[in-house]
Amino acid sequence: MTLLAPAAPASTLKSIAGRSGSKAAASSDTCTTSSAPTSRPLSVESSGLFDPGGYQLARSSAEIGQSPLVLGISGFAPTFLVGLKAVRDDHGPSLAALGGRRLTGFAIVRFIEDGDWYADCPIVLDFDGVQVEICHSKFDELSIGWNTIDTTAAISGWEWFEMTPAWSGADERLEPFIGQELREVALLEWRPSRRDVAADTLAVEFVFGTGRFHIANALDENIIEVGDAHPAFVRHLLDRGAQPD
């Protein structure tokens, strides 16, 4: 995922032009690697533009970094974490606390011209007024935000590009879960028997009475998958009263 600041020059078109294939697929899209858990915050160039070849990262695990405007999305200030422990420590209790709430809405970004899902952008889920914002990046990074993105605001700064991104509440994978009560939330850790580039990647799973879906890392973008996860995923159920193992 290449995160672009608004009003990017034409030279950055190549970072979006690759949205053919899974980026342009409206039906599916993300999974990743990690070693020692660490946060990897964004660092913005003084010019206000992200590196067209991939956004800049500060590698210090002690730093917590956020960008005030990413992809022209109002309120999107991602803090990317790596590894099960980091994500569970920071977000496990809050994710578990969603249990018992209904999924009352969602928002993803689509291009107005053709309806294609722009899978680099965060997926926003609303549980009875509590908004969780999930975004995967690179091979091992996951950002989970809470109540910061304004999906009623237009996505700005894309006048230079031939397509127009906008928030959408339409998605055939998520629509069947609207109105259903959330029963469980789990972190899924990709642990194949033969280690691959996606080993230790995390996905976030939401379980309802009639089914489940998870949001995973499709190696540098998001993917939404419905149903049971691949057996190579190790499931870590999030429980507000349980101590991390």
Residue with tokens 């803090």: 79
Q: Are 204 and 222 in contact (CB under 8 A)?
A: no
Residue type, 79: T
Is residue 62 helix, strand or coil? Answer: coil
Alpha-carbon distances of 213 from 2, 84, 85, 205, rounded to whole Å: 25, 19, 22, 6
**Containing structural domain, residue 34:** 10-237
Determine the Cα–Cα distance for residues 151 and 174; give it in Å rounded to an integer.
17
Total number of domains constituting the chain: 1
Strands 165-168 and 103-111, bridge-based pairing: antiparallel
For the stretch 31-70, pLDDT in tens is 333 333 333 333 222 223 233 233 332 222 223 333 345 8
Domain presence at residue 38: yes
**Percent of the chain surpassing pLDDT 90:** 61
Domain presence at residue 243: no
Check whether 133 has a pLDDT greater than 70: yes
Q: How buried is 51 (Cβ within 10 angstroms: 0-12 exposed, 13-18 middle, 19+ buried)?
A: middle
Domain presence at residue 242: no
Mean predicted confidence (pLDDT) in 211-226: 95
Domain presence at residue 121: yes
Q: Are 201 and 189 in contact (CB under 8 A)?
A: yes
Check whether 212 has a pLDDT greater than 80: yes
Domain presence at residue 209: yes
Is residue 235 helix, strand or coil? Answer: strand
Domain presence at residue 36: yes
Q: Which of 127, 125, 115, 39 is nearest to 83 (CA)?
A: 39
